């Protein structure tokens, strides 16, 4: 029985922690959130230089050909640091889409740039409030011309290209397209979200040039498997953030006095932090399950992914809001850092499907497994 | 990341499987025996074949097996229908204490019969006035020549009604501060002056007892540790509570409640199609999954000869309330039918009703939810201990009520 990371993976974690501690403090997150820069370009460059963007891209496309276990380690650390960079869009979504559905030509054209971090990809799925389904999609392609509005698109304002999910009259009702974002038919507008440390855009496509990615009418199936994999990687980011929230709460509680003693000596606070720890631990163990499932391409990946995501969403919401609570009035100030995990937890809880959506997916996946 | 056994573990597992397959008691062999008789039959069979208490040193009848070996044994044994054990406390708590603190001669005499199941042991710590304050013990032992005379009362003593021996912590000096006036003994449960009274539980059974001591005599030779060292010895007992890793079992869990939801309707369709039901079941699935994979991480540590990390301490705190909530949810799904509790008439032979009634006990026994949360906060997160107002005061001056 070996359900732990390897020595090399643990070393990678140490390296990543050290690097991010020096290059991505909360001050960096605050700077991007407060200011005009959509992301920390310098941090992105350094991350790419270390090869993180190339982690699972095969060597023949100038990637490192490592596994999803290494990527999970990196994801957790980026989540812990709340790194304000387009890593998730480019690596968990765009890269995965090309790996899964790309033709040999498309892989040659896009993967090396993604590996080097010189090309940033994003994933354009949602169009309006509420759940997205093949029936709800209005973005439509006509041959190699695509029209529609996508909002919100994480990193849509800074990416070089987008993977766009459009409606299809074939098969499962959707198709994927690669759309270069630097062309006349594309206009993009930065939009403000509850987490300004991460950039988002409204993408308006007006007969923009597009290339079909994968087969027409197989888009929704691709979306499901891309989101399953992304769910695990986002879950690792979420548990990293859970740790950050817990440590922040603990540190504050140990030093803040009330009625003559640290608030950490009161059971209301002790039990609150213990409950955060419990949820964090369950979520982390489910992330191990998820990491195992993606790295072995297990049949039960839909179950593992949904389990990891549901668990992580619940844990991160709880940890981040109770961290604010533990800080009392100061937790509610702009000056304190409690706002950062609180914002990020809700962004990650809604970006690729809500808790309720994935709870339903989990039961559906279990029903399917039992019927088989 | 790999769920498979190492080569050595796989060989051991095969050996265990082979022996179990050939030696599980048949219904004929168990016919006419009550649950105590069945438990003893199975334990003796394991003992005679060298498969009892495998983690114990060979000199005490064990096999010096590793913690991961014990996990493998537990996993394989749980695949068969075997009599429920009545030896958990004796093997898991009393024996390790004896091995650490009793004389060689005493161990030669008592340990083999513990291992074979011939003797059943219980643990007499808790008292009515103590509760979570484990060291606040009042049952007195007063020296009389080479003996001690015991007067007082213990409570929640599981299995006392069928136990042969017990380990016992007593107040030998009420004028010393709480932890310092305690002494540890082991005692013959058939001694004159011991009265065992079963306590009826809200779940209907009576698995635990009040144990009254009226001028009970115990020899000083049955003292473990020095006079006044009782708390330290008690810590040995408490530390040896078996961690359950990857065990699994049936009962009220995701599988049984999911199954129920396919059998009852909401809005004229199977309840499993209801979004609320799906969401709630998914949350519980994720909790069970988290606990399971937590267990795998601990098994990995054990497999490498390491000590499992603190993440293992969350099992009871998560599992006990969850079981209560799931049983409650199941009864709600059954609507008015949920109130029926009759093995012949109730769904699942009344398992949901039984668990609803038994589950409050799980959140209280062996460390309440609140104590578990305190333990996690203090020992895992390093937060400060609760303020104690009875520190350093003579025990007989500590307030015990409002009067």
Residues A367 and A227 in one domain: yes
Task: Look at residue A2 and tell me if it is in a domain.
Answer: no
Q: Which of A1, A295, A360 sits opposite B3 (nearest CB)?
A: A1
Instruction: Please report the pLDDT score of residue B282 as a whole number.
Output: 98
CB contact set of B319 (below 8 Å; sequence gap of 6+): B291, B362
Asked if B22 reaches chain A (Cβ–Cβ under 8 Å), the answer is no
Domain-ending residue, one of A187, A217, A247: A217
Asked if A311 reaches chain B (Cβ–Cβ under 8 Å), the answer is yes
Task: Look at residue B301 and tell me if it is in a domain.
Answer: yes
User: Residue A206: which of A141, A264, A271, A262 has the closest Cα?
Assistant: A141
**pLDDT over 70 at B247, yes or no:** no
Domain-ending residue, one of A63, A87, A116: A116
Task: Look at residue A109 and tell me if it is in a domain.
Answer: yes
Residues A227 and A341 in one domain: yes
Sign of CA dihedral B390, B394, B395, B400: negative
B249 confidence band (pLDDT: 50, 70, 90): low
Asked if B259 reaches chain A (Cβ–Cβ under 8 Å), the answer is no
Residues A152 and A103 in one domain: no
Summarised one tens digit per residue, pLDDT across range A320-359 is: 999 999 999 999 999 999 999 999 999 999 999 999 999 9
Summarised one tens digit per residue, pLDDT across range B93-104 is: 999 999 999 999
Task: Look at residue B94 and tell me if it is in a domain.
Answer: no
Measured between CA atoms, how close is B256 to chain A, in angstroms? 13
Name chain A contacts of B300, Cβ cutoff 8 Å: 1-4
Q: What is the pTM of this model?
A: 0.94
User: Residue A317: which of A291, A290, A280 has the closest Cα?
Assistant: A280
A and B: number of Cβ contacts within 8 A: 153
Enclosing domain of residue A313: 220-371
Residues A199 and A111 in one domain: no
In contact, B107 and B60? CB cutoff 8 Å: yes
Q: Which residue is closest to A246 within chain B, CA to CA?
A: B381
Asked if B9 reaches chain A (Cβ–Cβ under 8 Å), the answer is yes
Task: Look at residue B249 and tell me if it is in a domain.
Answer: no
In contact, B294 and B312? CB cutoff 8 Å: yes
B116 confidence band (pLDDT: 50, 70, 90): very high
Task: Look at residue B142 and tell me if it is in a domain.
Answer: yes
Residues B145 and B213 in one domain: yes
Measured between CA atoms, how close is B399 to chain A, in angstroms? 21
Summarised one tens digit per residue, pLDDT across range B188-222 is: 999 999 999 999 999 988 889 999 999 999 999 99
Asked if B386 reaches chain A (Cβ–Cβ under 8 Å), the answer is yes
Asked if B281 reaches chain A (Cβ–Cβ under 8 Å), the answer is yes
- Least reliable range by pLDDT among A143-152, B24-33, B393-402: B393-402
Sign of CA dihedral A175, A181, A182, A187: positive
SS (H, E, C) B253-319: CHHHHHHHHHHCEECCEEHHHCHHHHHHHHHHHHHHHHHHHHHHHHHHHHHCCCCCCHHHHHHHHHH
Name chain B contacts of A4, Cβ cutoff 8 Å: 1, 297, 300-301
Per the listing, tokens 């009362």 go with: B153
Domain-ending residue, one of B85, B105, B140: B85
Residues A153 and A232 in one domain: no
Residues A125 and A74 in one domain: no
Q: Which of B285, B299, B373 sits opposite A271 (nearest CB)?
A: B373
**pLDDT over 60 at B243, yes or no:** no
3-state DSSP helix/strand/coil percent for chain A, to nearest 5?
Answer: 60, 15, 25
Bridge partners for B216 per DSSP: B150
Q: Which of A5, A278, A360 sits opposite B278 (nearest CB)?
A: A360
Q: Which residue is closest to A312 within chain B, CA to CA?
A: B286
Task: Provide the total of helices (H) and of strands (E) in chain B, helices listed first.
Answer: 13, 10
Name chain A contacts of B67, Cβ cutoff 8 Å: none
**pLDDT over 70 at B134, yes or no:** yes
Task: Look at residue B156 and tell me if it is in a domain.
Answer: yes
Helix crossing, A41-49 with A7-23: angle to 10°?
Answer: 160
CB contact set of B277 (below 8 Å; sequence gap of 6+): B261, B266, B271, B333
% of chain B at pLDDT higher than 90: 82
Residues A232 and A208 in one domain: no
- Least reliable range by pLDDT among A119-133, A231-245, B245-259: B245-259
Residues A211 and A235 in one domain: no
Longest dimension (CA), chain B: 77
Name chain B contacts of A286, Cβ cutoff 8 Å: 286, 289-290, 293
Omega before residue A152 within 30° of 0, cis: yes
B241 confidence band (pLDDT: 50, 70, 90): low
Measured between CA atoms, how close is A356 to chain B, in angstroms? 6
CB contact set of A348 (below 8 Å; sequence gap of 6+): A234, A237, A238, A241, A312, A313, A316
B 40-69 residues inside an 8 A Cβ radius of A: 68
Residues B230 and B141 in one domain: yes
Residues A232 and A110 in one domain: no
User: Residue B377: which of B307, B331, B297, B317 has the closest Cα?
Assistant: B317
Asked if B376 reaches chain A (Cβ–Cβ under 8 Å), the answer is yes
Residues B316 and B342 in one domain: yes
Task: Look at residue A1 and tell me if it is in a domain.
Answer: no
Averaged pLDDT score across all residues of chain A:
97
Pairing of strands A145-154, A200-209: antiparallel
Instruction: Please report the pLDDT score of residue B336 as a whole number.
Output: 95
Name chain A contacts of B311, Cβ cutoff 8 Å: 281, 284-285
Task: Look at residue A182 and tell me if it is in a domain.
Answer: yes
Asked if B283 reaches chain A (Cβ–Cβ under 8 Å), the answer is yes
Asked if A258 reaches chain B (Cβ–Cβ under 8 Å), the answer is no
Cross-chain residue pair A1–B4, CB shorter than 8 Å: yes
Cross-chain residue pair A285–B293, CB shorter than 8 Å: yes
| Domain at A170, CATH number | 2.40.110.10
Cross-chain residue pair A3–B318, CB shorter than 8 Å: no
Q: Which of B286, B376, B380 sits opposite A311 (nearest CB)?
A: B286
Q: Which of B6, B380, B384 sits opposite A264 (nearest CB)?
A: B384
Residues B142 and B232 in one domain: yes
Cross-chain residue pair B317–A278, CB shorter than 8 Å: yes
Summarised one tens digit per residue, pLDDT across range A233-256 is: 999 999 999 999 999 999 999 999
Give the number of other CB atoms < 10 A from CB of residue A9: 18
Q: Which residue is closest to B376 within chain A, CA to CA?
A: A274
Quote ipTM for the complex: 0.94
Q: Which of B3, B289, B373 sits opposite A307 (nearest CB)?
A: B289
Asked if A190 reaches chain B (Cβ–Cβ under 8 Å), the answer is no
A123 confidence band (pLDDT: 50, 70, 90): very high
Whole-Å CA distances, B332 to B203, B335, B336, B338, B356: 19, 5, 8, 7, 11
- Least reliable range by pLDDT among A18-27, A119-128, B78-87: B78-87
Residues B291 and B354 in one domain: yes
What's the domain count of chain A? 3
**pLDDT over 50 at A203, yes or no:** yes
| Domain at A30, CATH number | 1.10.540.10
Pairing of strands B165-171, B182-188: antiparallel
Asked if A367 reaches chain B (Cβ–Cβ under 8 Å), the answer is yes
Residues B210 and B268 in one domain: no
Residues B266 and B350 in one domain: yes
Distance CA B49, CA A198 (A): 65
Instruction: Please report the pLDDT score of residue B246 as a whole number.
Output: 41
Measured between CA atoms, how close is A360 to chain B, in angstroms? 6
Enclosing domain of residue B350: 254-365
Give φ, ψ of B240 to 5 degrees. -90, 10
Residues A203 and A237 in one domain: no
In contact, A281 and B311? CB cutoff 8 Å: yes
Residues A240 and A306 in one domain: yes
Domain-ending residue, one of A176, A192, A217: A217
| Domain at A283, CATH number | 1.20.140.10
Name chain B contacts of A366, Cβ cutoff 8 Å: 258, 285
Domain-ending residue, one of B38, B62, B85: B85
B68 confidence band (pLDDT: 50, 70, 90): confident
Average pLDDT over residues B368-374: 94
Whole-Å CA distances, B82 to B20, B27, B46: 10, 10, 12
What's the domain count of chain B? 3
Task: Look at residue A306 and tell me if it is in a domain.
Answer: yes
Residues B22 and B77 in one domain: yes
| Domain at B191, CATH number | 2.40.110.10
Residues A130 and A231 in one domain: no
Task: Look at residue B389 and tell me if it is in a domain.
Answer: no
């Amino acid at each position: 029985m070996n359900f732990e990371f390897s020595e090399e993976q643990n070393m990678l974690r140490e390296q990543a922690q050290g690097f991010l501690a020096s290059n991505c403090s909360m001050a960096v997150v605050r700077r991007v959130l407060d200011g005009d820069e959509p992301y920390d370009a310098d941090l992105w460059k350094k991350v790419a230089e270390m090869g993180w963007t190339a982690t699972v891209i095969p060597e023949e496309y100038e990637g490192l050909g490592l596994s999803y276990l290494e990527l999970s380690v990196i994801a957790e650390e980026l989540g812990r640091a709340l790194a304000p960079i387009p890593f998730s869009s480019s690596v968990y979504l765009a890269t995965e889409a090309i790996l899964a559905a790309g033709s040999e030509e498309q892989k040659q054209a896009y993967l090396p740039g993604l590996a080097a971090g010189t090309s940033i990809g994003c994933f354009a799925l949602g169009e309006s409030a509420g759940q997205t389904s093949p029936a709800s999609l209005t973005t439509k392609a006509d041959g190699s011309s695509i029209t529609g509005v996508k909002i919100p698109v994480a990193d849509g304002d800074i990416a070089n290209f987008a993977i766009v999910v459009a409606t299809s009259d074939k098969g499962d009702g959707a198709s994927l397209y690669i759309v270069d974002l630097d062309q006349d038919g594309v206009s993009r507008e930065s939009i403000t979200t509850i987490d300004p440390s991460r950039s988002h855009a409204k993408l308006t496509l007006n007969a923009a040039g597009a290339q079909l990615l994968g087969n027409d009418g197989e888009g929704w199936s691709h979306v499901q498997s891309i989101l399953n994999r992304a769910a695990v990687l986002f879950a690792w980011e979420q548990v990293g953030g859970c740790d950050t929230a817990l440590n922040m709460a603990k540190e504050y509680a140990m030093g803040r006095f009330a009625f003559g003693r640290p608030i950490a000596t009161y059971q209301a606070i002790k039990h609150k932090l213990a409950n955060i720890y419990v949820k964090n631990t369950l979520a982390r163990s489910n992330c191990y399950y998820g990491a195992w499932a993606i790295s072995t391409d297990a049949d039960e990946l839909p179950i593992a992914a949904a389990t990891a995501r549901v668990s992580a969403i619940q844990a991160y919401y709880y940890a981040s809001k109770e961290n604010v609570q533990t800080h009392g009035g100061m937790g509610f100030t702009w000056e304190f850092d409690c706002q950062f995990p609180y914002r990020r937890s809700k962004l990650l809880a809604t970006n690729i499907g809500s808790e309720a959506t994935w709870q339903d997916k989990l039961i559906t996946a279990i029903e399917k497994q039992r019927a088989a | 990341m790999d769920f498979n056994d190492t080569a050595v573990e796989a060989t051991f597992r095969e050996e265990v499987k082979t022996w179990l397959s050939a030696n599980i008691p048949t219904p004929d062999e168990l016919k006419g025996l009550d649950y105590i008789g069945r438990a003893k039959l199975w334990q003796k069979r394991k003992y005679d074949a060298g498969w009892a208490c495998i983690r114990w040193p060979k000199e005490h009848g064990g096999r010096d097996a590793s913690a991961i070996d014990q996990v493998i044994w537990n996993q394989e044994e749980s695949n068969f229908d075997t009599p429920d054990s009545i030896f958990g406390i004796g093997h898991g708590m009393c024996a390790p204490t004896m091995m650490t603190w009793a004389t060689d001669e005493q161990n030669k005499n008592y340990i083999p019969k513990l291992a074979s199941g011939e003797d059943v042991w219980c643990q007499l710590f808790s008292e009515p006035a103590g509760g979570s304050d484990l060291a606040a013990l009042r049952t007195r032992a007063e020296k009389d020549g080479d003996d001690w005379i015991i007067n007082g009362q213990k409570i929640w003593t599981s299995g006392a009604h069928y136990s042969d021996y017990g380990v016992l912590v007593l107040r030998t000096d009420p004028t010393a501060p709480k932890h310092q006036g305690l002494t540890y003994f082991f005692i013959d449960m058939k001694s004159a002056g011991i009265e065992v009274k079963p306590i009826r539980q809200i779940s209907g059974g009576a698995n635990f007892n009040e144990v009254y001591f009226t001028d009970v005599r115990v020899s000083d030779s049955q003292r473990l540790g020095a006079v006044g060292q009782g708390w330290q010895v008690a810590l040995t007992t408490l530390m040896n509570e078996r961690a359950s890793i990857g065990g699994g079992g049936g009962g009220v869990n995701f599988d049984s409640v999911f199954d129920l939801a396919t059998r009852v309707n909401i809005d004229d369709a199977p309840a499993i199609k209801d979004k609320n039901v799906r969401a709630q079941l998914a949350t519980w699935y994720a909790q069970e999954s988290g606990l399971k994979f937590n267990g795998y991480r601990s098994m990995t540590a054990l497999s490498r000869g390491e000590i499992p990390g603190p993440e293992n301490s969350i099992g009871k705190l998560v599992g006990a309330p969850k079981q209560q909530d799931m049983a409650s949810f199941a009864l709600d799904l059954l609507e008015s039918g949920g109130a029926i509790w009759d093995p012949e008439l109730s769904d699942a032979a009344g398992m949901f009703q039984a668990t609803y009634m038994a589950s409050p006990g799980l959140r209280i026994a062996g460390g309440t939810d609140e104590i578990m949360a305190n333990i996690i906060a203090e020992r895992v997160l390093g937060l400060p201990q609760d303020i104690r107002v009875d520190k350093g005061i003579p025990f007989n001056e500590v307030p015990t009520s409002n009067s």
